[in-house]
Amino acid sequence: MTIANARIAGNPRVPEPVNEQARDYAPGSPEARNVLAEIDAVTAADVRDLPNVINGVRRPIGESAPVVAPHEHGLELGRIPVATAEDVNAAIDAALAARHDWSRMDWLDRVAIFLRAAELVNGKYRDELMATTMLGQSKTFHQAEIDVNELVDFFRYNVKLAEQIYTAQPFSVTGVQNVMDHRPLEGFVLALTPFNFTAIAGNLPSTPALMGNVVVWKPSEKSALSSDVVMRIFVEAGVPAGVINLVHGDGKLVTEVAQASEHLAGISFTGSTAVFRSIWRGIANNLETFRSYPRLVGETGGKNAVIAHPSADPQALLVALIRGAFEYQGQKCSAASRAYLPRSLWQDLREQLIETTAGLVVGDVTRHETFVGAVIDLAAADRLAAVFDHVKQSGDHEILVGGSVSTEKGWFVEPTIVETTDPRSFVMSEEFFGPLLSVYVYEDDDWEHTLGLLDSTSQYALTCSIFGSDRIAINTALDVLRDNAGMIYVNDKPTGATMGQQSFGGGRGSGTNDKTGSVLALQRWVSGRFIKENMTPDLDWTYPYMG
């Protein structure tokens, strides 16, 4: 006899999560030495095969594309297959075949698998995840550490949030039993993940899976090295064959094949706004195809502002601008990319910003002194170079520091600050996803007007920082910017949301604002079935006094 669901007698509580604490990777420390040794091992070894993993099988690569290190693009680290429609259909079939058992598995068993995954990330695979994230996505020790820790946090906190959903049950009166059956979606979920966070790459396929769904996961080809490690962790943690299937290749093709299936139940996307809109259009165009309305979750681009009131602390502002704009080369969706600064603070701040930015070390991420690594690929470097050229030719703009790009060895873009006198300039409205901060200086008594400018200048509404000590001014900003950002920071940089503390997401062009890190994000992957059981069914159809 097979016992697929040996439900234990009792309702255990899942562990209380705490945030994983960052190590500092001091030069020569054991943790730094271990990661550097792992980096040496990855670079010295043969080019890695980073295959599709369908129904638990790591498939032969076939036609393939190279994966290289952005800070040294001559260094080939791996090869990924280019998925065909046949591969994608095989992944969908594997997912659908796994659905029956996985969707009926006790949620506590699924929880155990992802708690195990957290420990594997934190233990056995930590150095490998650090090394592959640093090499493949060009993150410094510090930025890779934030990323790997966030993946641990995602697994642990999502389990706690799942518990909240499953244990939230309705009120029942005497004689009636009401139950909410938090079913997974009927079909499969497509997860499309961006290059910039290993944690997001792990979170998007695992969150629907934790809630009992089966998944086809297409990671960014630019994070393939670390995504392969994440996939191995899923398998080792006990995610059954077919529950999460990884396919590499052209996102458009993968999405089109998925959208041709009646079983597409949802898409979990993080990436650029334009791509998400194309996905939404694809869903609309195929509406009659689907058995259910697919759930669409999209966390997308940003043009995140820092606005300072004259009462702001200049040093805190300086730090937030530098870290917010230039950490990870400005390639966080939350990065500060435009600033509105008052004339009275500008004179001193201008010099400090120029000096500090000019002193940031750009280069090889395996070196401790590096603050800014390479941007992710040649297209990103070219995009920034084109912006710099445009700015240099425009009378309303001045490059205060930076403004050059070098692509010979790696894809390096100097951290750059542009001052503009045009508050509606393209540098104040468009996302460039690189180390570029645009500054508009306003007159001190124009606070409210400037808040209005900020709010109406870009299509995005992701993160925003307000600096100041004048409470009335801060409250005015919070009011005017009510719909401007899903994440508002007061006297803090606009990046670095922490799982379990700040749940992340944005509105307007920045996404569906489903708040990663909150119960709302998990709620999207269940479809309630309400069950009312009557212990005293009516035996008489008549109303009183009918005669």
Ligand X SMILES: N[C@@H](CCC=O)C(=O)O
Ligand Y SMILES: NC(=O)c1ccc[n+]([C@@H]2O[C@H](COP(=O)([O-])OP(=O)(O)OC[C@H]3O[C@@H](n4cnc5c(N)ncnc54)[C@H](O)[C@@H]3O)[C@@H](O)[C@H]2O)c1
- Binding residues for ligand Y, rule: CB under 6 A, are 192-197, 200, 218-220, 251-252, 255, 270-272, 275, 278-279, 299-302, 333, 431, 433, 462, 504, 506, 510-511
* Residue in 158, 198, 334, 512 binding ligand X, rule: CB under 6 A: 334
Give me the least distance between CB of 201 and ligand Y, in Å please.
9
Which residue is it, tokens 């934790």? 210
- Pick the closest to residue 121 from 155, 163, 94 (CA basis): 155
Helix (H, G, I), strand (E, B) or coil at 4: coil
Cβ 497 vs Cβ 504: under 8 Å: yes
Q: Six-digit token pair at 481?
A: 């910017």
Question: Taking CB within 5 to 8 Å according to partner kind, which of ligand Y, ligand X, none is near residue 302?
Answer: ligand Y
Residue 366 vs residues 70, 89, 123, 374, 421: alpha-carbon distances, Å: 12, 39, 21, 12, 39
In whole angstroms, how close is the CB of 157 to ligand Y at the nearest point?
A: 16
Residue 496 interacting partner from ligand X, ligand Y, none (CB closer than 5 to 8 Å by kind): ligand X
Q: How far apart (Å, rounded) are the C-alpha atoms in residues 255 and 268?
A: 11
Q: How many residues does the chain have?
A: 547
Distance CA 346, CA 422 (A): 16
Angle, CA 437 vertex, CA 399 and CA 446 arms, to 5°: 95
Piece of the chain touching ligand X by CB under 6 A; list 31-39, 315-323, 331-339, 470-478: 331-339
Residue among 363 and 496 whose Cβ is closer to ligand X: 496
Residue in 333, 485, 521, 522 binding ligand X, rule: CB under 6 A: 333
Three-state DSSP at 131 gives helix
Smallest gap from Cβ 203 to ligand Y, in A, equals 10
Q: What does residue 539 show for φ and ψ, rounded to 5 degrees? A: -115, 0
The helix/strand/coil state of 546 is coil
Cβ at position 315, least distance to ligand Y in Å: 28
Question: Does 273 participate in binding ligand X (rule CB under 6 A)?
Answer: no
Is 527 a binding residue for ligand X by CB under 6 A? The answer is no
What kind and span of H or E run contains 277? helix 273-285
Q: Which stretch binds ligand X (CB under 6 A): 86-94, 96-104, 120-128, 332-340?
A: 332-340
φ, ψ dihedrals at 480, nearest 5°: -65, -35
| Least Å from the CB of residue 529 to ligand X | 33
- State in angstroms the smallest separation of the CB of 410 from ligand X: 21
Q: Out of ligand X, ligand Y, none, which partner does residue 128 contact, by CB within 5 to 8 A per kind?
A: none
The nearer residue to ligand X, 334 or 523, going by C-beta atoms, is 334
The 3-class secondary structure across 149-162, one letter per residue, is HHHHHHHHHHHHHH
Residue 510 binds ligand X, judged by CB under 6 A: no
| Identity of the residue, 340 or 504, whose beta carbon is nearer to ligand X in the bound complex | 504
Q: Verify binding: residue 223, ligand X, rule CB under 6 A.
A: no
Residues near 265 by Cβ (< 8 Å), separated by ≥ 6? 185, 186, 187, 188, 189, 213, 291, 292, 294, 295
Please name which of 94, 97, 96, 91 lies closest in space to residue 249, comparing C-alpha atoms: 91
**Does 220 contact ligand X by CB under 6 A?**
no
Integer angstrom CA distances of residue 332 from 61, 276, 400, 423, 431: 31, 17, 22, 23, 11
User: Binding ligand X by CB under 6 A: which of 332, 338, 508, 524?
Assistant: 332
Choosing from 497, 521, 522, 526, the residue that interacts with ligand X (CB under 6 A) is 497
Compute the least distance from the CB of residue 66 to ligand X, in Å. 25
Nearer of residues 218 and 493 to ligand Y, judged by Cβ = 218
Q: Which two tokens stand for residue 249?
A: 């290749």
**Residue 504 lies near ligand X (rule: CB under 6 A):** yes
Q: Which of 20, 145, 299, 327 is catalytic?
A: 299
Q: Which is nearer to ligand X, 56 or 496 (CB)?
A: 496
Give the three-class secondary structure for 337.
strand
Kindly state the number of chain residues that form the binding site for ligand X, as judged by CB under 6 A: 9
Q: Among residues 337 and 495, whose Cβ is nearest to ligand X?
A: 495
Q: Of these partners, ligand Y, ligand X, none, which one is at the site of residue 255 (CB under 5 to 8 Å by kind)?
A: ligand Y
Return the structure tokens found at 389.
């050229």
Tell me which of ligand Y, ligand X, none is bound by residue 261, counting a contact when its beta carbon lies within the kind-specific cut-off of 5 to 8 angstroms: none
From ligand Y, ligand X, none, interface partner of 509 (C-beta below 5 to 8 A by class) = none
251 binds, among ligand X, ligand Y, none (CB under 5 to 8 A by kind): ligand Y
Instruction: Return the number of the residue (66 or 359) whose C-beta is nearest ligand Y.
Output: 66
DSSP letters, 227-273, are HHHHHHHHHHHTPPTTTEEE--S-HHHHHHHHHT-TTEEEEEEES-H
Shortest spacing between CB 64 and ligand Y, in angstroms: 16
Among 155, 166, 197, 432, binds ligand X (CB under 6 A): 197
Position with the least CB separation from ligand Y: 251
Task: State residue 29 phi and psi, 5-degree precision.
Answer: -70, 155
Q: Would you give the DSSP letter of residue 458?
A: -
- Tell me if residue 221 is catalytic: no
Task: Check: CB of residue 359 under 8 Å from CB of residue 178.
Answer: no
Angle between helices 224-237 and 107-122 (to 10 degrees): 130
User: Site residues (CB under 6 A) for ligand X?
Assistant: 196-197, 332-334, 495-497, 504
Enzyme catalytic residues: 299
